[in-house]
Amino acid sequence: MTQSNTESVLPPPMWFIALSVASAVMGLTLLAPALPLIQQEMSASNSAVQQLLTVYLMALAVGQLIYGTLSDRYGRRPVLLFGAMLYGIGGIAALFVSSVEFLTVMRGVQGLGAAACLAMGRAIINDCFERSEAARNMSTVAGMIAVVPILSLSLGGLLANVSGWQGVMAVTAASGFLVFAICYVRISETNRNPVVSINVAAVLSAYRVTLKDPVFFGFAMAGGMQVGMFFAMNGLLPFQYQRLGYSAAEFGLWFSLTPVSYIIGNYMNRRYFVSRGIERAAMIGCCLSVVAVLFMFVTQAFSFTHALSLALPCCLFGFANGIVVSNSTVGAISAAGKNAGTGTGIAGAWQMASGGIAGAVIVGLGGAQNFNVATAGLIVMSIVSVVSMSFVYRRQLQAVS
């Protein structure tokens, strides 16, 4: 986007962007501490309970592919309003189900709504700011968002103990309706240059052009692996904490240290790393994430049982994610150029899909029962992110030289 275009767009408050994106993330993190309780109450298998996260993530992925393109044509505001309402309705409907199968369906509905909240928050930032400033604002929003997982992990564990998983779903529904109300009253349209029309050929062309860009692909792959690792941890760590003798509430409190570290990583990114280039910053973060998951593998392989044996590696991972995610997201969207909405959708979809796919594959290989299998899967994902970001970083160095 040119400077003249950004000057004509009035950015919404960053706290609203954070609320919109965080509501989608909360739909995952708030439920994570309650998974063992759902398994017991509904007599469900490990794989069936994992589907509550996988289906939500896959719906987030598919929804962003659709909403990104639609928002390029019809605007960010109407798409966000529709998604927030759908997210709230899905949460309310989930209160009345009695089986894990129907609960999974409602989680899919919620995921489709949350996809609009997530994709439009990022697209709005891209509408309103240039590349470097967008990265800083993305870090600001990400730091604000990280407060929500801290609260939701702790609150989710407490709600699960006090009111069961139903209390968790009621809170997610309320967050969707809150985003809808604020958007309807206060937020104006930021897409001042909508595409003239949408047809199948134009959509396919936008996807083809975007996906063929190697810089976009590298940024998206690196960011997707990092976000996917976090979401996979949400589905796998509750069971490991349970095996170590910790309750759902205790898991929520210990794992909430991860987003605290994420806030610190985003602060350091905003104040230090962005000024040295988003490619270099993302590369550093990817390397730190490899160290974090290797640390986790070692502590569990040697049968350390204290919660810190999981919490400390997660803190390092959270710090690394705070550096990687904002820079890789902005890098991918900016590389998409005029197809920014499409780029937002693809990048966001891959981030969600990677978490859902990774969680399902790791559980299928026995990761829910054997945590060494789970950490091995996370190590593979972290290495893929380093390789992808190395490609982008080398391209940037060649362009400079």
Lowest mean pLDDT among 120-129, 198-207, 209-218, 305-314: 198-207
Higher pLDDT, 130 or 24: 24
Alpha-carbon distance of 31 to 114, in angstroms, equals 14
* Residue 6, pLDDT score: 43
Domains of the chain: 8-400 (1.20.1250.20)
pLDDT at 297 over 80: yes
Lowest mean pLDDT among 97-101, 331-335, 339-343, 368-372: 339-343
Lowest mean pLDDT among 99-103, 159-163, 317-321: 159-163
* Averaged pLDDT score across all residues of the chain: 83
* Residue 4, pLDDT score: 39
| Whether the predicted model's global pTM rises above the 0.75 cut | no
* CA 305 distance to own-chain centroid: 29
Question: Mean pLDDT across the stretch 8-22?
Answer: 81
What confidence tier does 150 reach under pLDDT thresholds 50, 70, 90? low
* Residue 2, pLDDT score: 37
What confidence tier does 8 reach under pLDDT thresholds 50, 70, 90? low
* Residue 288, pLDDT score: 96
What confidence tier does 39 reach under pLDDT thresholds 50, 70, 90? confident
pLDDT at 401 over 70: no
* Residue 112, pLDDT score: 94
Question: Mean pLDDT across the stretch 260-285?
Answer: 87
What confidence tier does 40 reach under pLDDT thresholds 50, 70, 90? confident
Higher pLDDT, 349 or 182: 182
* Residue 14, pLDDT score: 83
